[in-house]
Amino acid sequence: MQTLNVALGERSYPIHVGSGLLTDPRWFAALAPARRAAVVTNTTVGPLYLARLRQTLEALGIACVEIVIPDGEAFKNWETLHRIFDALLTHRCERSTPILALGGGVVGDIAGFAAATYQRGVPFYQVPTTLLAQVDSSVGGKTAINHPLGKNMIGAFYQPGAVIADTDTLGTLPERELKAGMAEVIKYGLIRDAEFFDWLEANMERLLARDDEMLGFAIVRSCANKAQIVAADEREAGVRALLNLGHTFGHAIETGLGYGEWLHGEAVAAGTVLAAEVSARLGLLPREHLERLVALYRRAGLPTRAPDLGTERYLALMGHDKKVQEGKIRFVLLKRIGEAFVSADVPQAVLAQAFAACCGDG
Ligand SMILES: NC(=O)c1ccc[n+]([C@@H]2O[C@H](COP(=O)([O-])OP(=O)(O)OC[C@H]3O[C@@H](n4cnc5c(N)ncnc54)[C@H](O)[C@@H]3O)[C@@H](O)[C@H]2O)c1
Ligand SMILES: O=C(O)C(=O)C[C@@H](O)[C@H](O)[C@H](O)COP(=O)(O)O
Ligand SMILES: [Zn+2]
């Protein structure tokens, strides 16, 4: 078991990572003196883990209001958010009633946004159950729902009171979801932690085989990287934008195909290859580095080619990116494995060349 800290002054919070946390009341003691808590989960995770969490909370004298939403990216929307508000109101949840998100990034993002806005903000706890959520989405306070025109377009920065990541839950995670989570793990290596990238190259097969020790290390190292970035730049005025590597293209893929066809991590992997291709074509990233990252994605079972939406459609979709400033799309590019930066100077011709090189069946 390891605990990290996200240092944000009086809003600092711990990230607990380890085995058996869901059944150990110690990690949930911070919820007291609440006598009730609302647990938001979904139709897949609920049957697997809600009873365990309920028992743990009951041991602390906390009764559970259970809010079970449909499963999938397509449900990270207004309608589901309203269903959560309806349930909170129907059960007379109060300003002091904590909301817990039990599930992957979809549950975490939407429950977090509900917590940020219900009665102008109630206590919030992340209990992530996917690799992606344990290494990325549960940390840092970005909460949101999707809009048909763009990913995560409506949301709030709202930090949790704690992140409780029980690594045992990864035992039931489908293979495709484990691989999708690996895209965000690899991201930390690419943007700032070259040593971690080397380690991932050395250990990818053991990670995919769910070696507990390896996965634990990867989760803690990822969270440590994210915690440092968030502590330095909570609201993405600067360095936090690097966490968006591959996302300008990736979000366009997710939105363009309709939410859910490609998993977020899959879209981020293909989007990162596009960002790396642009970087290489601009003479910024050596081709060998591009080849290394493509090889690692392949070994992780992630896509390295993007769908062929056409340059015009990509540009229109990317025009909604949250990093757009004064109408200019800002891209996260790579200088080498371990160093990324933001650039608004990507000529359209280079983008078109990168799409031609990296889209379609190849
Ligand atoms: N807020 C952030 O900083 C941030 C960061 C990265 C991604 N995200 C968002 O996170 C979402 C993706 O998250 P995700 O990859 O966790 O997807 P997800 O939440 O859809 O979960 C993936 C699938 O795994 C299932 N599942 C979850 N835990 C399980 C378990 N332990 N056993 C079996 N099945 C389980 C879910 O029901 C779902 O079907 C996207 O909406 C993305 O935009 C947010
Ligand atoms: O925490 C961040 O900052 C990130 O960018 C993490 C990303 O992995 C995540 O997908 C995030 O939701 C994207 O943020 P957005 O602001 O582009 O919606
Ligand atoms: Zn992401």
Which residues have any ligand 1 atom within 6 Å of their CB?
42, 44-45, 48, 71, 73, 76, 103-107, 109, 129-130, 132-133, 136-137, 140, 142, 152, 169, 172-173, 177, 180, 184, 264-265
The pLDDT-based confidence of 112 (bands split at 50, 70, 90) is very high
- Closest listed ligand to the CA of 240: 2
Q: Are 113 and 89 in contact (CB under 8 A)?
A: no
Question: Which of 265, 190, 264, 196 is CA-nearest to residue 224?
Answer: 196
What is the amino acid identity at position 291? E
- pLDDT at 362 (0 to 100): 78
As a whole number of angstroms, the distance between CA 327 and CA 325 comes to 5
Residue for token digits 């920065």? Answer: 157
Q: Map residue 144 onto helix, strand or coil.
A: strand
As a whole number of angstroms, the distance between CA 272 and CA 27 comes to 36
Residue for token digits 């899959």? Answer: 266
Known catalytic residue at 320:
no
End-to-end CA distance of the chain: 44
Task: Give the tens place of pLDDT for each residue, 230-250.
Answer: 999 999 999 999 999 999 999
Residue for token digits 């968006």? Answer: 244
Across-strand partners of 125? 100, 162
Q: Are 125 and 132 in contact (CB under 8 A)?
A: no
* Cis preceding linkage at 33, omega within 30: yes
Which residues have any ligand 2 atom within 6 Å of their CB?
136, 140, 142, 151-152, 184, 236, 240, 243-244, 247, 322
| Ligand 2 mean position, distance from CA 240 (Å) | 9
Residue for token digits 């790396």? Answer: 276
Q: Are 233 and 239 in contact (CB under 8 A)?
A: yes
| Ligand 3 mean position, distance from CA 155 (Å) | 15
As a whole number of angstroms, the distance between CA 46 and CA 325 comes to 40
Q: Are 145 and 154 in contact (CB under 8 A)?
A: yes
The pLDDT-based confidence of 288 (bands split at 50, 70, 90) is very high
> According to DSSP H, which parts of 210-263 are helical?
212-232, 247-257
**What's 328's DSSP letter?**
B
Atom 33, ligand 1: which residue's CA is nearest? 173
**What's 171's DSSP letter?**
G
pTM of the model: 0.99
| Ligand 1 mean position, distance from CA 352 (Å) | 31
Task: Give the tens place of pLDDT for each residue, 137-163.
Answer: 999 999 999 999 999 999 999 999 999
Percent of the chain at pLDDT > 70 equals 100
- Closest listed ligand to the CA of 131: 1
Task: Give the tens place of pLDDT for each residue, 305-342.
Answer: 999 999 999 999 999 999 999 999 999 999 999 999 99
Average pLDDT of span 70-88 = 98
- Give DSSP secondary structure letters for 53-119: HHHHHHHTT-EEEEEEEPPSGGG-SHHHHHHHHHHHHHTT--TT--EEEEESHHHHHHHHHHHHHGG
Whether the pLDDT of residue 176 is over 90: the answer is yes
Question: Which of 109, 142, 317 should be mutated for ligand 2, with most atoms under 8 A from CB?
Answer: 142
Average pLDDT, the chain: 98
* Domains (range + CATH), the chain: 2-172 (3.40.50.1970), 175-358 (1.20.1090.10)
Task: Give the tens place of pLDDT for each residue, 292-309.
Answer: 999 999 999 999 999 999
- pLDDT at 32 (0 to 100): 87
Structural tokens at position 339 = 């160093």
Known catalytic residue at 226:
yes
As a whole number of angstroms, the distance between CA 304 and CA 179 comes to 13
Structural tokens at position 345 = 């100077």
Task: Give the tens place of pLDDT for each residue, 35-67.
Answer: 999 999 999 999 999 999 999 999 999 999 999
Mutual angle of helices 348-358 and 311-318, in 10-degree steps:
120
